[in-house]
Structure 1
């Protein structure tokens, strides 16, 4: 399958990490629901890469199930900061090097701390952005801890 060669793909290839590429038609504001529908997979296994900032303007990445939201209150408490809020699209792009809607945790411009919802790690496989809109990669979730040093958190809210 022909697929884009993004910084995320280069990151994975350099480390000899296997992945399966999946292309889909990007839909503005379609989110994980739309990508899951097009790929015929459970939205729970599609993982969002979200960029947040602390009240001190320190950026970080949170990896969350597609069908759940991040409790910023619980995340702030976990990090011991006053508040956390989503980074603007411009700030997220500046930190990661990826366009909003195509953010991957792999191969980011700046090395950012990565937090992963604990239950993601128990999935057999996940679908996560490959660094471009309309491009997901299927991968073993254990890679998130091994290669990104992702820290487990339990901050998801919403339906399971």
Structure 2
């Protein structure tokens, strides 16, 4: 079954690699994917949907990191951001939780990518369903989604 994410990548002529695994959890999907695929957690990225009023933001961060709402807000020049609840995130993106891809979402959102992605030639993000990831070059993600890149993760003091 081709996902909207794969359709988006094909339309954009972006080279990608597919990774499938059996998803048997209902939380921490990204960490599970990293373990199931035997890939380091800093190379596997989760998709988090934030909002400021009615403006939605797609954040792509490593599964082993916590997102910094303050850093994202500062980067995109808004006062504050909140996590979007699961039903709204699914409605906005067209994907189920645990399968939200930054690619091929129902509604176009601003995309923010953690700068840590830039140290890799390939990062894994959700391919549009649970148990399915796609490996893409971070530069292709930035270009195709017009993503903003910055320091958006919490750092231990």
Q: State the TM-score, normalizing by the size of structure 2.
A: 0.92
Structure 2 segments unaligned to the other structure (5+ residues): none
Mapped to 2, the partners of 1:15 and 1:74 lie a distance apart of 30
For the residue of structure 2 that corresponds to 1:70, the secondary structure is: coil
Query: In the alignment, which residue of structure 2 is the partner of 1:50?
Result: 48
How many residue pairs get aligned? The number is 155
Query: In the alignment, which residue of structure 1 is the partner of 2:20?
Result: 23
Structure 1 segments unaligned to the other structure (5+ residues): none
Q: State the TM-score, normalizing by the size of structure 1.
A: 0.91
Question: Which residue among 74, 97, 100 is the counterpart of 2:71?
Answer: 74
Residue 5 (structure 1) shift: 0.4
Question: Which residue among 122, 135, 150 is the counterpart of 2:147?
Answer: 150
On the 8 A contact 1:43/1:67 being kept in 2, the answer is yes
Query: In the alignment, which residue of structure 2 is the partner of 1:87?
Result: 84
Query: In the alignment, which residue of structure 1 is the partner of 2:131?
Result: 134
Query: In the alignment, which residue of structure 1 is the partner of 2:94?
Result: 97
Residue 22 (structure 1) shift: 0.8
Residue 158 (structure 1) shift: 4.7
For the residue of structure 2 that corresponds to 1:77, the secondary structure is: helix
For the residue of structure 2 that corresponds to 1:38, the secondary structure is: helix
For the residue of structure 2 that corresponds to 1:22, the secondary structure is: strand
Mapped to 2, the partners of 1:115 and 1:102 lie a distance apart of 18
Deviations 1:59-92 (A, max 9, x none): 1101101111111122223333232111011111
Query: In the alignment, which residue of structure 2 is the partner of 1:38?
Result: 36
Query: In the alignment, which residue of structure 1 is the partner of 2:113?
Result: 116
